[in-house]
């Protein structure tokens, strides 16, 4: 857990924005590479899928086990996609609706946060929330790769064994 008695500078908060964008670029790149490995383009088109949400939908739909023999893979896909959708919402709010950055200059002060507003949504993304999200996001591109590799493995036992190290994902404690 994040120590809430620490200070967080304005520069650290700006760095958090950069971290969010960088982590998403890793995830986007891995989704694109995984779709290539799966030989998936955009819904019957020869053009590549455009947009993060579209790529995520195509990827998760393609690798979701349909025969019930890959329980770990199925659970990991559900957990990862759910987390990625929430993180994508935060990314979109920051990239398209950032209206404020607040630092925490005193240990007893209010928590540092980003203020975002987009359409009817106005919220604060706290330093703690961002750090927790970054912890699992920094590993998400590897999980995408491993899930893709496992989906291409014809042997169900081998496929599940490839994913054993991910059993506790997101493990953000």
| Predicted local confidence at residue 1, as pLDDT | 45
The mean pLDDT of the chain is: 91
CA distance linking residue 142 with residue 163, whole number of Å = 11
The pair of three-digit structure tokens given for residue 10, joined into one six-digit string: 């304005």
| Predicted local confidence at residue 2, as pLDDT | 52
| Segments forming the whole domain that contains residue 67 | 10-166
Q: 38 by DSSP, 3-state: which?
A: coil
Instruction: Tell me if 41 is assigned to some domain.
Output: yes
Instruction: Tell me if 4 is assigned to some domain.
Output: no
Q: What is the DSSP string of 97-166?
A: HEEEEE-B-STTSPPPEEEEEETTEEEEEEHHHHHHHHHHHHHHHHHHHHHHHHHH-S-HHHHHHHTGGG
| Predicted local confidence at residue 172, as pLDDT | 60
CA distance linking residue 107 with residue 101, whole number of Å = 17
Nearest Cα residue to 130 out of 87, 79, 100: 87
Residue 28 has pLDDT above 60, yes or no: yes
The total number of structural domains in the chain stands at: 1
| Predicted local confidence at residue 152, as pLDDT | 94
Instruction: Tell me if 173 is assigned to some domain.
Output: no
CA distance linking residue 130 with residue 125, whole number of Å = 7
Give the pTM.
0.89
Instruction: Tell me if 5 is assigned to some domain.
Output: no
Instruction: Tell me if 1 is assigned to some domain.
Output: no
Instruction: Tell me if 128 is assigned to some domain.
Output: yes
């Amino acid at each position: 857990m994040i120590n809430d008695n620490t200070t967080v500078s304005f520069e650290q908060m700006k760095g958090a924005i950069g971290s969010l964008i960088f982590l998403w670029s890793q995830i986007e790149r891995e989704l694109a590479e995984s779709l290539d490995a799966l030989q998936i383009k955009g819904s019957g088109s020869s053009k590549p899928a455009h947009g993060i949400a579209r790529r995520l939908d195509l990827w998760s739909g393609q690798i979701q086990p349909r025969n019930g023999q890959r329980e770990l893979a199925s659970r990991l896909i559900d957990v990862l996609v759910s987390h990625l959708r929430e993180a994508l919402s935060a990314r979109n709010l920051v990239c398209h609706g950032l209206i404020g950055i607040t630092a925490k200059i005193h240990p007893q002060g209010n928590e540092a946060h980003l203020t975002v507003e987009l359409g009817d949504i106005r919220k604060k993304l706290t330093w703690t929330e961002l750090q927790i999200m970054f912890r699992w996001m920094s590993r998400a591109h590897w999980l995408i790769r491993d899930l893709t590799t496992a989906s291409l493995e014809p042997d169900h036992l081998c496929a599940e064994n490839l994913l054993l190290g991910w059993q506790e994902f997101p493990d953000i404690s």
